[in-house]
Amino acid sequence: MKLWDKGFSTDKKIDHFTVGNDRELDLHLAKYDVIASKAHAKMLGKIGLISPKETVELVNELDHIAARIEKGTFTIENSFEDMHSKIEYLLTLSLGDTGKKIHTARSRNDQVLVAMHLYLKDELTEIKSMTKSLFNLLLVKAQEHKDVMLPGYTHLQIAMPSSFGLWFSAYAESLIDDLYFIEAAYKVADQNPLGSAAGYGSSFDIDRSFTTEEMGFETMKYNVVAAQMSRGKAEKATAFGIANIAATLSKMAMDICLYMSQNFDFISFPDELTTGSSIMPHKKNPDVFELVRGKCNKLQSIPNQLTLVINNLPSGYHRDLQLVKEIIVPAIQDMKACLEILTFSLKEIKVNDSILDDPKYDYLFSVDTLNELVQNGMPFRDAYKKMGMEINEGTFTPKRDIHHTHEGSLGNLCLKEIHDKMKKIN
């Protein structure tokens, strides 16, 4: 069944090419098409295009379909083009002519739009919640290991003293920046496009304010052409939010892979969180974190993929827009999987609390030793040259009793302030 069926069939090759994997992807969106259809049915009843009895019947039957979706028994067979055609078929099967009235005053274009906007709102809310869970864990780990020293690197060269408290909380605070992008994406998605029909409105006197409130949107996309142009744009905004979180997780996963290696030996994980080799019995591979790194690097390409699909399209609907669904839906699922597995794994991280006992890290303390000379009255440039000569001659003696007190430093992590900053994100 196709919503645009005029009584003749298309070639199977054309059908397969144009439908693609829409049926599979629509299983993620069907719940939201039902929510929008319920709001639409109530609106049709409110303005008198269908009777009160028909309104109740449509809403009740849509509730039955929603229950099937919730149970996982809703399917979209090959005889249906998408979720819209399957849902309308079920309504017609149960209600006859009443079921056929559900498509009054709307198009499949605004059906897809509103379902996607509702889906993105829910998924962005879940991604935000999962990110906050990881954030909270990182702050707990930062407090737990705040006094355990860690080498800091620049150019992958030993640079200055750091700590696990500084390392964990650095990634925690970075996630706050990432959620600013998620909040911006949510605001873009939180606009009701239903009622724009095919992109040019309707001659029916529909009540778009009613459906906006009914579905819980903050506002509507007023201009019907602008509403149609939001397809791809809301997905792209979401992709930028995902890409920012992915960049943070990828960097952390890379750190973990380095720190787990025998050359570093800064951290370890229980055997059940690592994998082995088919021929090397000693191996404990960081496969989980390598896959997080790889998946998150892929996720950072999603905004560009969406840009290449939509960047040269004129206003109005074009079938190219179907492709944004197959880019953004899997990306959202991958983002949630990475957040979930990283949070799960980091609960079991074990840190090495005696890393800096190794004399190869003595040079980490050169800056602190230099700064003490400056505090005792020596000009900075003279102190710098003195340190350089001692290091070159092998006579350098590190000052290990370091004392960092400014905000955000080793001795003043500002964990409460970072926590309070996150609390401002709803």
Of 339, 356, 373, which marks where a domain is finished? 356
Total of domains in the chain: 3
**Range among 6-10, 62-66, 363-367, 380-384 rated most confident:** 62-66
Q: Which residues contact 158 (CB under 8 A, 6 or more apart)?
A: 151, 360, 361, 363, 364
Model confidence band, residue 12 (pLDDT cutoffs 50, 70, 90): low
User: Residues 54, 151: one domain?
Assistant: no
User: Residues 136, 88: one domain?
Assistant: no
Model confidence band, residue 397 (pLDDT cutoffs 50, 70, 90): confident
Residue 211 pLDDT: 98
User: Residues 344, 362: one domain?
Assistant: no
Tokens of 157: 């060269």
User: Residues 339, 392: one domain?
Assistant: no
Averaged pLDDT, 32-41? 98
User: Residues 54, 172: one domain?
Assistant: no
Residue 346 pLDDT: 96
User: Residues 265, 364: one domain?
Assistant: no
Classify residue 277: in a domain, yes or no.
yes
Question: For residues 249 and 206, what is the distance between their CA atoms, to the nearest angstrom?
Answer: 46
Domain with 84 in it: what CATH number?
A: 1.10.275.10
Whether residue 21 is predicted with pLDDT greater than 90 in this model: the reply is: no
Question: For residues 294 and 320, what is the distance between their CA atoms, to the nearest angstrom?
Answer: 28
Of 77, 104, 131, which marks where a domain is finished? 104
Question: For residues 286 and 290, what is the distance between their CA atoms, to the nearest angstrom?
Answer: 6
Classify residue 127: in a domain, yes or no.
yes
Of 356, 384, 404, which marks where a domain is finished? 356
Cβ neighbours, 10 Å, residue 61 = 24
Classify residue 240: in a domain, yes or no.
yes
Query: Beta partners for 151?
Result: 161
Residue 4 pLDDT: 42
- Of 276-280, 317-321, 386-390, the least confident: 276-280
Range of the domain at 46: 12-104
User: Residues 338, 373: one domain?
Assistant: no
Per-residue model confidence as pLDDT tens digits over 228-263: 999 999 999 999 999 999 999 999 999 999 999 989
Whether residue 2 is predicted with pLDDT greater than 80 in this model: the reply is: no
Domain with 310 in it: what CATH number?
A: 1.20.200.10
Classify residue 409: in a domain, yes or no.
yes
User: Residues 339, 397: one domain?
Assistant: no
Percent helix, percent strand, percent coil in the chain, to nearest 5: 65, 5, 30
Tokens of 49: 């295009």
Model confidence band, residue 20 (pLDDT cutoffs 50, 70, 90): low
Q: Which residues contact 262 (CB under 8 A, 6 or more apart)?
A: none
Model confidence band, residue 7 (pLDDT cutoffs 50, 70, 90): low
Question: For residues 383 and 367, what is the distance between their CA atoms, to the nearest angstrom?
Answer: 10
User: Residues 42, 145: one domain?
Assistant: no
8 Å CB contact between 178 and 93: no
From 253, 194, 260, 224, select the one nearest 43 (Cα to Cα): 194
User: Residues 150, 86: one domain?
Assistant: no
Residue 99 pLDDT: 97
How much is the pTM?
Answer: 0.91
Question: For residues 160 and 370, what is the distance between their CA atoms, to the nearest angstrom?
Answer: 12
Question: For residues 86 and 76, what is the distance between their CA atoms, to the nearest angstrom?
Answer: 6
DSSP annotation string for 57-90: HHHHHHHHHHHHHHHT-----TTSSSHHHHHHHH
Whether residue 71 is predicted with pLDDT greater than 50 in this model: the reply is: yes
Classify residue 72: in a domain, yes or no.
yes
User: Residues 280, 181: one domain?
Assistant: yes
User: Residues 339, 378: one domain?
Assistant: no
Whether residue 152 is predicted with pLDDT greater than 60 in this model: the reply is: yes
Residue 381 pLDDT: 94
